[in-house]
Amino acid sequence: MSAEQAARFAVRIGVRSYEMDVNGHVNHAVYHQYAEHARMEHFRASGLSEHALAGHGLTVVLLSTTVHFRAELRAGETVDIDSEIAFTRRKPFTMSHRIRRVVDGAGTPVDQLAAEAECTMGVLDLGTRRLVADPYARLSAVATDPALLGPAPD
């Protein structure tokens, strides 16, 4: 498995009735929460829980996020949310997410892209309250499974 493949991570969740808006589909803000959930689970799986990071004086912060909506989601459906991290030599890095419907409300397996989220992230030094240089190196030094972070930047 290549490092790029190892960096992709996914979680599965059910769409809940209280996430609906007045039009009967998932509220736009919930897509951001789905992406956040996938990000946090991706970090936890790599050994970068909030507690582990704080023990090294670090935290991960969201700098910006954009969601592109492709298809409506409704209560009772099941979605997979994947995440992939990409580092450069700069302080910010990105996490991309695809939210895919995998089971419709009738219980039928499907595969449909519902949304894509692009997030710009940074690693914050808790002491200085500044973004750290070389976030890949800082995160991989703490991670118990650094392969989930993907390849080092070129």
Q: What pLDDT, in 10s, does the model give residues 31-87?
A: 999 999 999 999 999 999 999 999 999 999 999 999 999 999 999 999 999 999 999
Residue 1 pLDDT > 60, yes or no? no
Q: What is the mean pLDDT of residues 110-135?
A: 98
- Assign residue 126 the CATH number of its domain: 3.10.129.10
Is residue 115 in a domain? yes
Question: Distance (Å, rounded) from C-alpha 89 to C-alpha 70?
Answer: 32
- Per-residue 3-state assignment (H helix, E strand, C coil) for 90-114: CCCEEEEEEEEEEECCCCCEEEEEE
What DSSP character marks residue 47?
A: T
DSSP designation for 49: -
Pairing type for strands 130-131 and 93-103 reads: unpaired
User: Which whole-number Å values give the CA distances from 17 to 14, 26, 47, 73, in the listed order?
Assistant: 10, 9, 32, 11
Q: Would you place residue 140 in the very low, low, confident or very high pLDDT band (cuts 50, 70, 90)?
A: very high
Q: Categorize the per-residue pLDDT at 7 as very low, low, confident or very high, splitting at 50, 70 and 90.
A: low
Q: Which residue segment(s) compose the domain that 49 sits in?
A: 3-144
Domain total in the chain: 1
Indicate the pLDDT class of residue 14, thresholds 50, 70 and 90. Answer: very high
pLDDT of residue 62: 97
Euclidean distance between CA atoms 142 and 69, whole angstroms: 34
For tokens 């890095």, the residue is 93
Question: Is residue 77 assigned to a domain?
Answer: yes
pLDDT of residue 8: 81
